[in-house]
Amino acid sequence: MDKAKTIISNKSKKRVFVAMSGGVDSSVAALLLKNEGYDVVGVFMRCFNVDGCAEKDAEDARRVAEKLGIPFYVWDFEEEYKKKVVKYMVDGYRHGITPNPDVMCNKEIKFGLFLEKALAMGADYVATGHYARKLCFARTGVKISPAEISRLHLGSAARLIRRDQARRTSDSFSQSKVSFGLGIGKDKNKDQSYFLWTLTQKQLRHCLFPIGDYVKPEVREIARKAGLPTADKKDSQGICFLGRVKLDDFLGRYIKPKTGQVRLAQSDGSYKVIGEHSGAQFYTIGQRHIGVANRGLTRLPARSQAKAGNELFDVAQSRRGLTRKTNFEPLYVAEKDIKANTLTVAEGSNNPALYKKEVLLRDVNFINPSYSLIRANKRIGNKGIKVMARVRYRQPLAGAHLRLSANGESHTNKRIRGKLVNSRQIRYVLIFDVPQKFVASGQSAVFYLPPVASAKEGSSLEMLGGGVIL
């Protein structure tokens, strides 16, 4: 479907609560929906924020709402955010994994509390500024016309997928006969489907992603033409609630430093101690800037002294006759042992120690169970399902097979074949065609239908779901 083509008649206006963050993306999302004829309400969610930038963001969101002439509210989710997102992140790092707070924020706050409150206040939909696309399917696999999509109020923010060319039956369609999927955004550099893998059919039924069919320069140009005050506002970077505060400094408030060894992996399987760190919990797999250079026994400064760390190290190097200009390649964290409080590093970005071919997953969610799990039930055996997957945001998609883990298969086979399937209690394994680099426990692995299966007639690449890396 073309952009912004569906117009909702005044008699059947649907109400949409837009999560307005104070950025250009959510501002344009609200604008597009208003132009399509929706009854738009803007909401700024006040969540936990460390550096105080939320006040400026709230004011920017209010100014946009005023420009658009739409109602505007501020909803306070700070305490819930602390419990559901901040605590989750801190506990994850404390136990040695690398959690993804953005995924948890979407699951618990935006498409949890925000969606629930919006629906309770009479909303038909909620919308966000995510670069992703909502996909719509006729459950019988038949085509749904644009007119029918309009009657279902799916909007131009939803994209139709045609599974086959079967003729439409005489039965009238209803939302109960439509299932939903999640597709990647048109802007491949901004696609945010990676963070949305926990979405369910119940949630997607009430979700719209208006800017999914646009690229970032188009979004900014739309904002400029409309005179929105956020048109040229810079995008936020990093973990949203930290702002300009460094992650290490924040974690240091909750996790005490503890000195441990930094070990360099040798080709014969042994290790060489090359330095010390101040707590294995502060590091993640694939991290390069760890405060120790290649070669030489040095003591790292405490994390709170990170700014002075390079200077201290330079002095230590000079005393040993070493300089940074060596033939040694950079070091990367390859393994963490929280109990022993050790970091194992590998030399060079192409070191085999940094790669994994098999990735075990827990808490797996299939976005469209009526389609995906049916396939899983039939083909999840030894061969598994052919997918395209990634283990990091913006990582290029790679070919893989998704199948049940041997660890979870023996006591879950009956549940899988029965009607009481609960995929979140089943472990799966992604087996990549080519080993993948920097696989971190706690992060999300997501998987999509291969292009041959999903990218037909210009449709968006469809996400099957995702899980948490063990």
Q: Give pLDDT tens digits for 159-199.
A: 444 333 222 222 334 455 688 999 999 999 999 999 999 99
Tokens encoding 5 = 């083509």
Bridge partners, 306 (sequence order): none
Predicted pLDDT at 385: 86
Query: How far is it, in rounded angstroms, from Cα 28 to Cα 24?
Result: 6
The residue among 68, 19, 16 whose CA lies nearest residue 47 is 19
Q: Are 64 and 225 in contact (CB under 8 A)?
A: no
Look at domain 354-469 and name its CATH class: mainly beta
User: Active-site residues: which are they?
Assistant: 105, 240
- What backbone phi and psi angles, to 5 degrees, belong to 186? -60, -40
Q: 181 pairs with which residues across the strands? A: 135
Contact 66/41 with Cβ under 8 angstroms?
no
pLDDT of residue 265: 86
Amino acid, res. 348:
G
Cα(228)–Cα(218) distance, integer angstroms? 14
The model carries a pTM of 0.81
Distances (CA, A) of 175 to 15, 38, 148, 256, 369: 17, 18, 10, 52, 16
pLDDT of residue 327: 60
Task: Tell me the three state secondary structure of residue 94.
Answer: helix
**Nearest to 429, CA basis, from 401, 398, 463, 448:** 401
Sheet arrangement for strand 125-127: 72-76, 39-46, 15-19, 125-127, 207-208
Q: Please write down the long-range contacts of 308-317, taking CB distance under 8 Å and 24 or more positions apart.
A: 317/293
* pLDDT for position 453: 54
Task: Locate CATH 3.40.50.620 in the chain.
Answer: 14-226
- List of E strands, 314-396: 331-337, 342-347, 355-366, 385-390
| Dihedral (Cα; 233, 115, 445, 340), 10-degree rounding | 90
* Segments in 21-142 forming alpha helices (H): 24-36, 54-68, 78-81, 87-94, 101-105, 115-120
Kindly report, residue by residue over 294-312, the tens digit of the pLDDT: 554 444 444 433 333 333 3
User: Could you tell me which residues come within 8 angstroms of residue 402 by beta carbon, excluding any fewer than 6 positions away?
Assistant: 376, 380, 384, 385, 387, 389, 428, 429, 430, 447, 464
Of residues 282, 124, 151, the one with CA closest to residue 207: 124
Looking at residue 25, its pLDDT comes to: 97
Q: How far, in Å, CA of 15 to CA of 33, rounded?
A: 10
Q: For residue 463, what is the DSSP state? A: E
Q: Which of 220, 208, 56 is nearest to 130 (CA)?
A: 208
The CATH H-level superfamily of 14-226 is: HUPs (3.40.50.620)
Residue type, 206: H
Positions of the chain with pLDDT lower than 70, given as ranges? 1-12, 52, 139-177, 238-241, 243, 293-327, 370-383, 406-425, 452-460
- Kindly report, as residue ranges, where domains of CATH 2.40.30.10 are found in the chain: 354-469
